[in-house]
Chains A and B, each alone.
Chain A
């Protein structure tokens, strides 16, 4: 890969770019991080909305005796953040380097490799902290092995892990992390204390998002925070990314070194506020009118007309790039909460949704699938 890793070539290119880029001031690194990383909880008490888990962990922190652990829950709920924060509180910034081993899905995790890595790590001499350091951090006499994203480990690799866990249980603690607890084999799961990470609920997530918005100086329209939380479906990481992008989009955040002559994105009279609409845009929410239009097209009329109308609308929606899963979710909402549709029909419609969801997960063509869904709903609405 000459180009990329070759210094000379890079310097040359730097020279061609030189005049424009030299002017750029050195910026503080923190500002350059995506907000999700910038606001990753630094210690256990920073972790929001997982009160039960955090209380238990804080207690073990004091007793300094840790069980093997299994964290599970949907993406962006704080699993990785929690174990990293816990490790930091146990060992402090120095000792953490030698006492904690993190293996995730980006590492080779075949049976023999995990065994080897764990063996080497477990056998490494425990470095002893100074007395002064010990005052600051508990530094318990064991090491922690984090197996993050463990649901991507094969069953065989998991089985092999059982022995390894037992062999080194005096000097190591394991923490397994996954999204789906059912993907972890029973014998392994039963050796661990389980901690469920809940999807973040309204109240708590709102608090965290508001806190970040305030620190970044982002102004939000009334209801914008609620929209943000609703669109991110309990995933705080998503919520933070949406917030950052919305802020950038409207320029609602002070970009200090912005060129004078660069385009002004937003009218100043609008006050550079993050609006509900801008958040829905970013979150890929389909506008109400579009769903409404599809629903209208599905209403019973003469057969040929229905097909025409539905097929045209669907073709447009597909070309507009709306994701099929989003269409399905929103259409489901609008059909099921529509009081004008009799229950018998709703029952039948639900069955269609179930089938369609499965097909989409299997990777079926989105255009055909959505068209089929719409025509079948239409058929049911017509009383078939």
Chain B
């Protein structure tokens, strides 16, 4: 059974319900024939991919929807074999080079040249060039990005790139210089409500405007998350009304527990206890940044107003440490310890 997220995904630019002006902009670029390389960025769940798939359709017509997944093997200079999956139609391909970690350069290098050197064989194709969509472009290594530079220029008659990223910060300047930057903002809460209502109607769910609004708010303007929550609520309850509670995902519930524990007692024993839970989250592949951020924003309402800025400060500090260091758990734990210390000192000063 397909998830709502996929089932009701808009397939053309016309069907996209929000950011109409952006849709028009993409349409005018697609129709002009001299389509530039794009760097599409925005928060996750903002609908970047959907928008790009719709743009591809505008460029090439329905043939672009006939996709196939191929597995390719690449060889590194040290003769290591890399397996790599490619999603392709006759007109475009889609790759996620971060799948092969530090070997992404080999893939980018070989694959793009290969694509660029084969002409569009479909003589009646609407565009002379083919498109390569690169997912998670902000995770490309510097080397892989450097490898794109001349390729993007030299082969531009045959090849256009669409890079998808959550942010432009990790994209090197020469690549930013070679692409048109397209920002996709997250939909507003109202826009999310519209999408939920539409999906609900198609599924025959009972109308519950207030529930939809609550979901929109809790989703943090993340449409994918909102749709998943909406579906979960309906799957878990016989009868859904405006007051039906929205169950948080397990890992988030666990973080609420951790936050409460940290606030309740400031002691080494407590840190030890919390560590086990943090480990648990890490082994379930919850990204460390997510853990730290969600925990922080759960702690904030529990502390005195005067401390809020300081807690954020340490959270940002340790998040940076997590990035730069190698032992994630050290830094998460250090944040917990720091938090306890800050609160403790404050309470002493205030004479509790």
Binding site for B on A (CB under 8 A): 1-5, 7, 9-11, 13-14, 16-18, 20-22, 24, 27, 29, 31-38, 74-76, 80, 102, 104-108, 110, 113, 148-149, 152, 179, 235, 237-238, 241-242, 244-245, 248-249, 251, 255, 258, 262-263, 265, 282-284, 302-304, 306-307, 315, 318-325, 359-369, 371-372, 375-376, 378-379
Contact = CB atoms under 8 A, between A and B. Distances in A.
Contacts of A245: 25, 29, 36, 180
B250 interface: no
A17 B62 contact: yes
The 8 A-B pairs with the shortest beta carbon distances in the complex, nearest first, are A304-B305, A321-B42, A372-B316, A105-B146, A104-B150, A14-B122, A152-B146, A75-B177
Contacts of B27: 263
A3 B66 CA distance: 10
Interface stretch (B166-174, B233-241, B267-275): B166-174
B61 A363 contact: no
Contacts of A379: 309
B149 A105 contact: yes
A378 B177 CA distance: 34
Contacts of B178: 36, 75, 237, 241
Nearest to B124: A21
B10 interface: no
A9 B91 CA distance: 11
B88 A324 contact: no
B319 to A, nearest CB: 5
Interface stretch (B1-9, B183-191, B193-201): B183-191
Interface residues of B, number: 94
B341 interface: no
Given A4-B93, A365-B289, A149 B149 contact: yes
Contacts of A3: 67-68, 70, 88-90
A22 B123 CA distance: 9
Interface stretch (B113-121, B204-212, B278-286): B113-121
Contacts of A303: 305-306, 308-309
Nearest to B118: A5
Interface centre among B29, B35, B36, B323 (most CB of A within 10 A): B36
A369 B156 contact: no
B127 to A, nearest CB: 8
B181 interface: yes
B183 A368 contact: no
B143 A244 contact: no
B184 to A, nearest CB: 6
A75 B313 contact: no
A368 B315 contact: yes
A224 B29 CA distance: 20
A104 B149 contact: yes
Contacts of B46: 321
Contact of B24 (A10, A265, A322, A378): A265
Contacts of A238: 176-177
A318 B220 CA distance: 11
A198 to B, nearest CB: 15
Interface string B32-61: 111111000111001000000000000011
B343 to A, nearest CB: 15
B33 A32 contact: yes
A241 B176 CA distance: 11
